[in-house]
A and B are shown apart, each in its own frame.
Chain A
Amino acid sequence: DVVLTQTPSILSATIGQSVSISCRSSQSLLDSDGNTYLYWFLQRPGQSPQRLIYLVSNLGSGVPNRFSGSGSGTDFTLKISGVEAEDLGVYYCMQATHAWTFGGGTKLELK
């Protein structure tokens, strides 16, 4: 199975601060069809996961543009440019190139 390793596991930030979360894969996520099936989700307390980013860097519908995704191969990053209170929760990366697996999560909390 593909293992996704997220760092850090806990991220403390102030409102307005820019932060980044890393997601490293045990195998390349570049598919034979040319796509890289790497996604980012936010799960707020008591809610279901919400997709933020699809195919590495594409913003989901209705997702604020302070969120951005980048990376290739085995190394990926989610960046939040100016954290807002509604961004608090747990972030997960997910790969769908080799079945589906999820990272362990990064909890974003207020400093």
Chain B
Amino acid sequence: DAGVIQSPRHEVTEMGQEVTLRCKPISGHNSLFWYRQTMMRGLELLIYFNNNVPIDDSGMPEDRFSAKMPNASFSTLKIQPSEPRDSAVYFCASITDRDSNQPQHFGDGTRLSIL
């Protein structure tokens, strides 16, 4: 079975540029989560969706960050404009249902470097 698929795996860009990270959840999963991992703050939840609807975006750092889920098989996390402090590894995870006790499954992440 295909797991959670994220693209690109690595992204290097200059500050001020728009960055778009992509995620394809596991087929049949209806909840999707975006996390960010840094050395200083560890793994933090940014936002999560249930049935394509954003449920909790309290972890989104500021208005430069936005996330969408246009359909059940695709989500994007966008940063515009990007800043060096946005450099981190961004993970996407999915689960069958947010009210389930089944585990979240993670992708391999996008390593983002903003110069």
A binds B: no
The residues of A with any CB-CB pair to B shorter than 8 Å are none
